[in-house]
Amino acid sequence: MATCGYDDDGVKTTTFPIIKDGVFVDYQTTRDQAHLIGQKASHGCSYADNWSSVPFQRMPNVSLQPNEKPVTEQDIIAATEDGVYVKGDSSYSIDHQRYNFQFSGQTFWEVKNGKITTQLRDAAYHANTPEFWKSLDMLGGKATYELGGAFSDGKGQPVQSNSVSHGCPIARFKNVDILNTAR
């Protein structure tokens, strides 16, 4: 949804990894930031919501890449002893530093002994970002990858609203707090 040939600094956009093989390898940058980390060029991540707004560093198209192995949704469910399967997205709350967050999904399902047992209602999950990503322990293959996005991702002071795309395969996270698992 945010794909373009050049960012609002006039820099040609590129594809680059932020995390590779579980290790942080690079930052999203603008022309004003690249030199601060020893880079010669920006990654083209500067965006404004209109001609009269000041562009700043944004995360336009960030995706979790799928497993190279053909891991399916059923493989992940079958490997889960006790968990909650979240489908879709709904409401969210993230602090200004992007450290703590809470999300809800469109549907939640209880998983016991490798099988979906019953639907749950009014559930949500919360965590802090580093601990959440450290808890990723299974990742689906290419066939489970889905791309989603939003037309109104608000950031900045004053607030600007930009389109963003984020994709991911099915993924399993261990030890995540699930709130209100009512049946």
Domain C-terminal end among 24, 39, 57:
57
| Section 32-50 average pLDDT | 93
* 160 and 82 together in one domain: yes
pLDDT single digits (tens) 54-82: 998 888 788 999 999 999 999 999 999 99
Provide the domain count of the chain. 2
Tally the residues of the chain. 183
pLDDT single digits (tens) 122-150: 888 999 999 999 999 999 999 999 998 88
Which residue in this structure is represented by tokens 């290790």? 23
Give the model's pLDDT for residue 182: 64
Residue 181 has pLDDT above 70, yes or no: no
The boundaries of the domain holding residue 108 are 63-179
More confident residue, 97 or 119: 119
Residue 115 has pLDDT above 70, yes or no: yes
Q: Which of 131, 136, 125, 143 is nearest to 71 (CA)?
A: 143
* 40 and 117 together in one domain: no
Please report the DSSP string for 7-70 in residue order. Answer: -TTSPBP----SEETTEE------HHHHGGGT-SS--S-EE-SSTTSPPEE---B--PPPBSS-
pTM: 0.83
* 90 and 21 together in one domain: no
The Cα angle at residue 74 between residues 172 and 72, in degrees rounded to 5: 75
* 50 and 69 together in one domain: no
Confidence of residue 120 (pLDDT cuts 50, 70, 90): very high
Tokens in use for 138?
């299974």
* 103 and 76 together in one domain: yes
pLDDT single digits (tens) 155-171: 778 888 888 888 999 99
* 50 and 111 together in one domain: no
* 83 and 149 together in one domain: yes
* 51 and 71 together in one domain: no
* 6 and 27 together in one domain: yes
* 6 and 85 together in one domain: no
* 51 and 106 together in one domain: no
Residue 14 has pLDDT above 70, yes or no: yes
Chain mean pLDDT for the chain: 90
Domain C-terminal end among 57, 76, 99:
57
